[in-house]
Homo-oligomer: A and B are copies of this chain.
Amino acid sequence: MARKRFDDSSCSVARALNEVGDWWSLLVVLHAMYGARRFVDFQQELGIARNILCDRLTRLVDNEVLKKVDVGEHGSRFEYRLTEKGRDLFPIVIALRQWGDKWNPAPDQPPLDLRDRATGRPIRQVAVQNADGDSLTIRDVFVRDDGEATPRKDKKQAG
């Protein structure tokens, strides 16, 4: 049967995964961040089947993660560029990269060394933080129900 979709799920994680949660979409976004813009760039860099790439690009454009720009002087030459919504996936992609580097490091090569362009210093580990910038684990957060004013110990954990 058809794959389930989560378009109208009340869970925003499910809705997010509905747009970028398949095998290829986030990799397409990643390579767009690397600088890929043309159909053939994505195709060659990812080794993805052309029809699948077509489908994913179309869907990402429909979901406004990418925009399709006609760059041909006489038509029929296109670029796929990240929208603000697409660029906003940056923390997710970086968090995935750091998780992969930490738990499944490549045996033969060091992880990509991402640095702040302004200072040359490495970037931090992506983390959930409180208002003061302290890192929080899942145990440190709770879900505030409507109208609730103060944190309580017995609240269910969040996600």
Contact = CB atoms under 8 A, between A and B. Distances in A.
Interface of A: 3-4, 10-17, 19, 21-23, 26-27, 30-31, 33-35, 47-48, 64, 85, 87-106, 109-124, 126-133, 136-146, 149-151, 153, 155-159
Contacts of A116: 130-131, 136, 140-141, 151
Contacts of A88: 99, 102-103
Given A31-B159, A127-B126, A138-B90, A115 B151 contact: yes
How many copies the complex holds: the figure is 2
A93 B127 CA distance: 11
B35 A100 contact: no
A144 B113 contact: yes
A99 B11 CA distance: 12
B13 A100 contact: yes
A135 to B, nearest CB: 9
A33 B151 contact: no
B138 A91 contact: no
A140 B150 CA distance: 38
A115 B87 contact: no
Given A35-B156, A138-B87, A96 B17 contact: yes
